[in-house]
């Protein structure tokens, strides 16, 4: 069968794109998610990601009203640093300390009763909104939330989302070229992925896979920090009972509440021994 010149050029172009992506994956893109051991695509250099993260975090804090309720603030920081310490210990035991070697943990409580949300950005910069506290109810409930969010950070889900978008938007362009020649686009992409405090419509949502991984990692972290992972079930049940209201930003549409709770029940036996050990 005779092939036209135009088709030959198209095939060569596609081949070049595939080659670039493969090279990126081979030399800088492969990463392993803690606990699940899934291989994921991480193309954005950590230095670039942390620089943008720290800048965005400082901007959010400047624009937000930080809580002056010292009891609640201390609770958030107490739980947060326990989870962070558990994460550091777990990664050290598994030879993955390099994943967070440049983290500078910080946990703040933002006074906003209408926002049911919490997040942890690259580098360990975290915020909890007062609107989620009625659902967490206590330190253990808060440990479910922060364990989940730290889980996203440890798995570097944001980098993976940015990497997927970079490949799609920049057509396989060499990453060094993309970051140097299209810095504004890359920054805008970061803001889309990590748009802390933005409305749901402007955020690139986590996939069902990412949510499930964060749940699984979070259960192990909270258990190692001395919190009963079984309490994750009543927390998510409380979050799912939002009759007549718009689902809170923290409650992802993926997976459905009943699916998430069923999966968590499967993960609890994996995390429970850590809690039982810590309770002795």
Per-residue tens of pLDDT for the chain, all 280 residues: 443 444 434 434 434 443 444 444 444 556 789 988 888 888 778 888 898 889 889 999 999 999 999 999 999 999 999 999 999 999 999 999 998 999 999 999 999 999 989 999 989 999 999 999 999 999 999 999 999 999 999 999 888 887 777 766 655 444 555 555 555 666 666 656 665 544 333 344 567 888 899 999 999 999 999 999 999 999 999 988 864 455 565 665 556 778 889 999 999 999 999 999 987 7
> In this predicted structure, what is the pLDDT of residue 247?
56
> In this predicted structure, what is the pLDDT of residue 164?
74
d(CA 274, CA 59): 37
d(CA 76, CA 65): 16
pTM for this structure? 0.80
Catalytic residues: 149
d(CA 109, CA 112): 9
d(CA 166, CA 178): 8
> In this predicted structure, what is the pLDDT of residue 101?
93
**Phi then psi dihedrals of residue 217, to 5 deg:** -65, -45
Residues comprising the chain, all counted: 280
Q: What are the structure tokens assigned to 210, written together?
A: 């990412």
Cα-atom radius of gyration of the chain, to the nearest Å? 20
> According to the 3-state scheme, what is the secondary structure of the chain?
CCCCHHHHHHHHHHHHHHHHHHHHHHHHHEEECCCCCCEEECCCCHHHHHHHHHHHHHHHHHHCCECCCHHHHHHHHHHHHHHHHHHHHHHHHCCCHHHHCCCCCEEEEECCCCCCCEEEECCCEEEEEHHHHHHHCCHHHHHHHHHHHHHHHHHCHHHHHHHHHHHHHHCCCCHHHHHHHCHHHHHHHHHHHCCCCCCHHHCCCCCHHHHHHHHHHHHHHHHHCCCCHHHHHHHHHHHHCCCCCCCCCCCCCCCCHHHHHHHHHHHHHHHHHHHHHHHC
d(CA 163, CA 153): 15
Q: How many CB atoms are located within 10 Å of the residue 112 CB?
A: 17
Q: What are the structure tokens assigned to 157, written together?
A: 């889900």
**Contact criterion met (CB below 8 Å) for 203 and 253:** no
d(CA 210, CA 155): 8
Q: How many CA atoms lie within 13 A of 192 on its CB side?
A: 14
């Amino acid at each position: 069968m005779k092939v036209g010149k135009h088709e030959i050029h198209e095939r060569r172009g596609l081949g070049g794109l595939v080659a670039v992506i493969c090279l990126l994956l081979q030399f800088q893109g492969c990463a392993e998610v803690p606990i699940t051991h899934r291989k994921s695509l991480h193309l954005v250099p950590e230095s670039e990601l942390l620089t943008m993260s720290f800048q965005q975090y400082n901007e959010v804090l400047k624009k937000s009203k930080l809580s002056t309720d010292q009891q609640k603030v201390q609770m958030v920081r107490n739980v947060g640093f326990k989870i962070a310490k558990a994460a550091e210990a777990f990664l050290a035991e598994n030879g993955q300390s390099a994943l967070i070697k440049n983290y500078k943990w910080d946990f703040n409580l933002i006074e906003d009763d209408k926002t049911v949300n919490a997040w942890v950005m690259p580098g360990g910069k975290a915020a909890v909104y007062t609107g989620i506290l009625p659902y967490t109810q206590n330190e253990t409930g808060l440990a479910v939330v922060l364990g989940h969010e730290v889980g996203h950070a440890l798995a570097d889900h944001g980098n993976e989302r940015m990497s997927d978008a970079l490949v799609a938007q920049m057509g396989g362009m060499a990453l060094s070229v993309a970051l140097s020649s299209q810095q504004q686009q890359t920054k805008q992409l970061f803001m889309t992925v990590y748009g802390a405090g933005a409305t749901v419509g402007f955020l690139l949502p986590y996939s069902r896979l990412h949510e499930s991984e964060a749940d699984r990692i979070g259960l192990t972290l909270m258990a190692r920090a001395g919190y009963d992972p079984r309490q994750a079930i009543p927390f998510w049940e409380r979050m799912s009972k939002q009759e007549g209201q718009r689902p809170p930003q923290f409650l992802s549409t993926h997976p459905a509440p009943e699916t998430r709770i069923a999966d968590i029940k499967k993960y609890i036996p994996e995390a429970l021994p850590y809690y039982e050990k810590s309770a002795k």
